[in-house]
């Protein structure tokens, strides 16, 4: 009997709270609610983009997924096996690799490029670490004869990020988590690295979790998009559906902040105003109610569940009145935005 198809990654109700120091007794009983009840799935070969303002919890979520920090509550399943129960963190770390934003800090300045790429496979006793490193340098567009013996400080930011991508691939992962991996690059280099990531995904059958604040970049590379606000998921769906119509008012405001040269793509939604509330003491009910221009009394008292939009099982939003609140529906209903 064939095994039922399971998602490559399934996160269920993940929570991560960080204690903060305060009060006269040192470590107080206050916690930053960095990730608060997040659930999602990623299919094999898919790219899931994760977007949201700074401090929304997207980087903490990335670190939970690669096992760099432990979850406080919730489960992470990798191909149906539960992390910590059926598979160890060490086994997960081979299958799930991460590329960080800071290409320089990610590399050991004392190791040459080839040594850096070969380091992981050597520690994990994989076959032929050196040969693997040289082959991957070719794949990411760094000619081994020119770059293998160089040190990180001798490379540009784009070249260093190529090294970091090769380092991640050296472990033959199934999933690569890219945390703002192209954000620090010049636009022309960013485009080259994005194209490289697309090619590598196709060639090696990789699955990406792509975290970025740049909505244009996320649109280019992602199949689905997950939007986070103050530690929670507020909207998730296929990239085309979300870019055509944002169901959650937060997503709509986020998109309204996106610059566009195309007059047809300009939105009438006002951009997001004010700062996010304090994550130590998030607002009751819908966490966005303090900044939402559609908020009603129910929004302060009841937390909205993430629900599919009418007729779209794969596009979900967490808003009590998203059918009314979204700019699209307002326009349709003739309500002034």
How far is the C-alpha of 81 from the C-alpha of 85, rounded, in Å?
A: 8
Interacting residues with ligand SF4 between 243 and 272 (CB under 6 A): 248-249
Query: Which window, 60-68, 191-199, 267-275, 316-324, contacts ligand SF4 (CB under 6 A)?
Result: 316-324
Quote the least distance from Cβ 305 to ligand SF4, whole Å.
10
Give the N- to C-terminal CA distance of the chain in Å, as an integer.
Answer: 55
Is residue 229 close enough to count as binding ligand SF4 by CB under 6 A?
no
CA distances (Å), origin 280, targets 32, 85, 223: 4, 30, 33
Q: Which of 137, 226, 319, 330 binds ligand SF4 (CB under 6 A)?
A: 319
What mask, x for binding ligand SF4 by CB under 6 A, covers residues 282 to 301?
A: ----x-xx--x-xx---x--
Scored b (16 or more CB within 10 A) or e, 172-199 reads ebbbbbbbbbbebbeeebbebbbebbee
Quote the least distance from Cβ 282 to ligand SF4, whole Å.
13
Nearest CB to ligand SF4, comparing residues 162 and 322: 322
How far is the C-alpha of 263 from the C-alpha of 266, rounded, in Å?
A: 5
Structure tokens at 147: 């770059």
Quote the least distance from Cβ 268 to ligand SF4, whole Å.
17
Residues in the chain: 337
Quote the least distance from Cβ 128 to ligand SF4, whole Å.
53
Quote the least distance from Cβ 16 to ligand SF4, whole Å.
23
Interacting residues with ligand SF4 between 71 and 100 (CB under 6 A): none
Is residue 304 close enough to count as binding ligand SF4 by CB under 6 A?
yes
How far is the C-alpha of 194 from the C-alpha of 182, rounded, in Å?
A: 8
Quote the least distance from Cβ 300 to ligand SF4, whole Å.
8
Check residue 67 and give left, alpha or beta (phi > 0: left; psi -120 to 50: alpha): left
Where does this chain bind ligand SF4 (CB under 6 A)? 248-249, 286, 288-289, 292, 294-295, 299, 304, 319-322, 325
């Amino acid at each position: 009997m064939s095994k039922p198809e399971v998602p490559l990654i399934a996160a269920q109700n993940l929570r991560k709270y960080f204690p903060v120091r305060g009060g006269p007794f040192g470590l107080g009983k206050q916690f930053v609610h960095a990730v608060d009840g997040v659930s999602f799935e990623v299919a094999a070969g898919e790219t899931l983009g994760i977007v949201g303002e700074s401090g929304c919890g997207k980087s903490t979520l990335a670190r939970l997924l690669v096992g760099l920090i432990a979850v406080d509550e919730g489960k992470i399943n990798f191909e149906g096996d539960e992390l910590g129960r059926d598979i160890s963190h060490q086994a997960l770390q081979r299958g799930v690799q991460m590329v960080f934003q800071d290409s320089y800090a990610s590399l050991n300045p004392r190791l040459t490029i080839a040594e850096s790429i070969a380091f992981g496979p050597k520690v994990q006793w994989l076959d032929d670490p050196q040969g693997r490193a040289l082959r991957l340098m070719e794949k990411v567009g760094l000619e081994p004869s020119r770059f293998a013996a160089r040190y990180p400080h001798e490379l540009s930011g784009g070249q260093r990020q190529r090294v970091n991508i090769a380092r991640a691939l050296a472990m033959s992962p199934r999933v690569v988590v890219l945390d703002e991996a192209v954000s620090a690059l010049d636009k022309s280099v960013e485009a080259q690295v994005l194209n490289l990531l697309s090619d590598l995904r196709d060639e090696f059958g990789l699955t990406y979790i792509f975290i970025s604040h740049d909505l244009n970049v996320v649109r280019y590379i992602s199949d689905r998009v997950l939007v986070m606000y103050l530690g929670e998921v507020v909207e998730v769906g296929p990239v085309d559906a979300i870019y055509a119509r944002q169901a959650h008012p937060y997503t709509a405001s986020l998109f309204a902040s996106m610059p566009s040269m195309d007059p047809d793509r300009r939105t009438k939604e006002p951009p997001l105003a004010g700062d996010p509330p304090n994550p130590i003491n998030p607002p009751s009910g819908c966490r966005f109610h303090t900044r939402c221009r559609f908020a009603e009394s129910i929004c302060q008292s009841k937390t909205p569940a993430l629900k599919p939009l009418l007729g779209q099982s794969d596009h979900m939003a967490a808003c009590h009145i998203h059918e009314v609140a979204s700019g699209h529906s307002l326009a349709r209903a003739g309500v002034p935005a």
